[in-house]
Amino acid sequence: MAKTRKKGKKFEEKLVELERIVASLEEGDSTLEESLDLFQRGTEYLKELADMLDAAEKQVEVLIKDNSGNVSSEPLKKEVSKE
C-alpha cells in the first residue's frame, strides 16, 4: 500500500484551492483587504505547486533497455515547445 503524506495538502487539493481563490478574485465581490489576502494565499499556493512539480520532475526517470538487454535509467528529457 502506498504511503500518503500527512505534512500538508496534496497537490490536487492545493490546485483546487488555488482555482477557488482565482474564481473568488474574478467575481470581484471581495473587499480590498479580502482580495489582497486571497491574492497572497494564491501566490503562496502557486509557488508551492511549482515547487512540487519541480520535485516530481526530478524524480521521473525513463527506463531504457539497450541492445544487450541491460536496463538503465536516465532523467526524463523535457520537450521544448516550438510555439
79 against 46, higher pLDDT: 46
Q: What's the pLDDT at 42?
A: 97
Q: What's the pLDDT at 65?
A: 60
Q: What's the pLDDT at 75?
A: 67
Per-residue pLDDT for 2 more than 50?
no
Cα angle, residue 62 at apex, residues 54 and 77 outer, rounded to 5°: 55
Note whether 21 and 45 are within 8 A (CB).
yes
Which residue ranges make up each domain of the chain? Answer: 11-75
Which residue in 40, 12, 15 sits closest to 25, CA to CA? 40
Give pLDDT tens digits for 6-65. 456 799 999 999 999 999 999 999 999 999 999 999 999 999 999 999 888 777 655 566
